[in-house]
Amino acid sequence: ELNQKVEKVLQTGVHIETALDPAMQKRANDVIANTLPQTDIQATAVMIDHLRNELVGITAGKAYQKFDFHRGYQMYRQPGSAIKPILVYAPYMEESAVPLQSSINANNFCSNGYLPKNYGGGQYGNVSLMTAFKHSY
């Protein structure tokens, strides 16, 4: 039965729907290639549409060839707090338009069972947005 299903897929093909944006993909690859043209430094980029919660672009690294190591999804190193300015602070400031002096709660926050923690497990209470940004709370 499995062989029949495989044969059918091979004959008829598969229709895959994705949120990936080929133009954004190309732009991200071009930016990496032009920013790091002749160095051994590598980079990757993952682009997320935070309004639709969709992955719209992912790069593999500079001069990526099929079957090379794909830095976009095979990397073991997490970006950690380096990603906070992009995924946390920028959308918050863009949507709320609050001044950097406004007070926010920097304690741990749980959403749908996911509870990210600050390095060292600290709870910081109410602090200014600038302080939270500066110390990556």
pLDDT tier, 2 (very low <50, low <70, confident <90, very high otherwise): very high
Mean pLDDT, residues 89-98: 86
- Among residues 83, 57, 84, the alpha carbon closest in space to that of 72 is found at 57
Residues 6, 61, single domain; the answer is yes
Mean pLDDT taken over the chain? 87
Instruction: Quickly count helices (H) and strands (E) in the chain.
Output: 6, 4
Report how far apart the first and last C-alpha atoms of the chain are (Å, whole number): 54
Residue 109's SS3 state is coil
pLDDT tier, 98 (very low <50, low <70, confident <90, very high otherwise): confident
Domain count, the chain: 2
Task: Give residue 76's pLDDT.
Answer: 78
Domain that holds residue 61: 1-77
This prediction's pTM = 0.51
In one-letter notation, the amino acid at residue 80 is G
Residues 15, 59, single domain; the answer is yes
Task: Give residue 93's pLDDT.
Answer: 85
